[in-house]
Amino acid sequence: MKMPAIGLGTFRLQGQTVIDSVLAGLELGYRHIDTAQIYGNETEIGLALRQSGLAREALFVTTKIWTANLAASALLDSLQASRDALGLERLDLTLIHWPSPGDEISVAESMEALALAQQRGLTRMIGVSNFPISHLRQALDVVGAGAIANQQIEIHPFLQNRKVRAFCQQMAIPVTAYMPLAYGKVMQDPVMQALADKHACSPARVALAWLLEQGYTVIPSSTRRENLEANLMAADLHLDDDDRVAIAALDRNERLASPDFAPAWD
Ligand SMILES: NC(=O)c1ccc[n+]([C@@H]2O[C@H](COP(=O)([O-])OP(=O)(O)OC[C@H]3O[C@@H](n4cnc5c(N)ncnc54)[C@H](OP(=O)(O)O)[C@@H]3O)[C@@H](O)[C@H]2O)c1
């Protein structure tokens, strides 16, 4: 199964909230769920997947290896634990969540371990997240072009991340845009609101349509059924060149996810 272009984000969602969000999403037609070891919700997501009654082959599930598990000695065991928590025989996609803080563990060590996990059947595909170009080059050196099934990075109208996107395109690495709604900021922006008024829809839908038309996967999160439903319909909205020019002008390098251990960004 290919990665569905619209997935369901689950960062910050815990306990019954994440179960309800994932169950509602699956009922509405989401088939792609994005989690991570650090989100602390893999067990609850596993419960929701089973409760949905959907066949395993109908689902696409991604997790991400946390920075504490990037050493070769830890990565496979941690992925086995994720797989067990999710109740899956194997993940569809497993990403290195962030480069190792201060490059303490080399990209080569983690990518080799991830490729071994793939060979052993723990995950169907492998990829990376929050990798600047320098780290992407190192990952490509280890596993080769074509083996990196995805790079997940922050992209929304206020952080358009053009350099790393261009590099991914050049290397044919598919990109997933995380925080596609800038964690709600898209809804407060007057330009996005004006575009939404023009198309008689929500600013969220404009932002998602803008990303989807460029070929990116999007993984918005929501705790509300009506928002989950609206986000799933975003691909139906067609933007024009004036809309694209207006959104391009909103880029202000506003990065929302930049912890103190983040790599030097491009
Ligand atoms: N790889 C990484 O390092 C990384 C980092 C951050 C995030 N992620 C992934 O990306 C996913 C998305 O990012 P995010 O959850 O931080 O932020 P987001 O999806 O950009 O924004 C979510 C916020 O937008 C609101 N929202 C959603 N749909 C809406 C709609 N149609 N209308 C109005 N408001 C709407 C939600 O509120 P309601 O709940 O009220 O709808 C929530 O507050 C995460 O959940 C996670 O899976 C990955």
In a domain, 231, yes or no: no
Task: Residue 75: give the domain boundaries.
Answer: 8-182+216-221
Rounded to 5 degrees, φ, ψ at 178 are -95, 160
Contact 49, 33 (CB under 8 A): yes
Determine which one of 39, 178, 183, 216 is catalytic: 39
128-137 mean pLDDT? 98
- 169: amino acid identity, one letter: Q
Cα separation, 106 vs 169, in Å, equals 24
DSSP classification of residue 130: S
73-102 mean pLDDT? 98
In a domain, 92, yes or no: yes
In a domain, 262, yes or no: no
CATH number, domain containing residue 135: 3.20.20.100
Q: Is 216 part of the annotated catalytic residue set?
A: no
In a domain, 246, yes or no: no
In a domain, 204, yes or no: no
119-131 mean pLDDT? 98
0.95 cut: is pTM over it? yes
In a domain, 113, yes or no: yes
pLDDT at residue number 1: 84
Find the 72 Cα to ligand 1 centroid distance in Å: 31
Per DSSP, what are the bridge partners of residue 218?
Answer: 6, 177
Find the 119 Cα to ligand 1 centroid distance in Å: 32
- 152: amino acid identity, one letter: Q
Write the CA distances from 154 to 26, 131, 179, 180, integer angstroms. Answer: 24, 11, 6, 7
pLDDT at residue number 145: 83
In a domain, 39, yes or no: yes
Sequence-distant (6+) residues with CB within 8 A of 9 are 34, 178, 219, 220, 221
Q: How is 10-31 classified by DSSP, letter by letter?
A: -TT--HHHHHHHHHHHHHHT--
Contact 220, 208 (CB under 8 A): yes
Contact 99, 266 (CB under 8 A): no
| Ligand 1 pocket, Cβ-based, cut-off 6 angstroms | 9-11, 34, 97, 129-130, 152, 178-184, 187, 202, 204, 219-224, 227, 230-231, 257
Residue 195 has pLDDT above 90, yes or no: yes
pLDDT tens for 206-261 read: 999 999 999 999 999 999 999 999 999 999 999 999 999 999 999 999 999 999 99
Domain count of the fold of the chain = 1
Percentage of the chain exceeding pLDDT 70? 100
In a domain, 130, yes or no: yes
Confidence of residue 66 (pLDDT cuts 50, 70, 90): very high
Residue 128 tokens, joined = 């990376």
pLDDT at residue number 151: 98
Number of CB atoms found within 10 A of residue 190's CB? 8
pLDDT tens for 9-62 read: 999 999 999 999 999 999 999 999 999 999 999 999 999 999 999 999 999 999
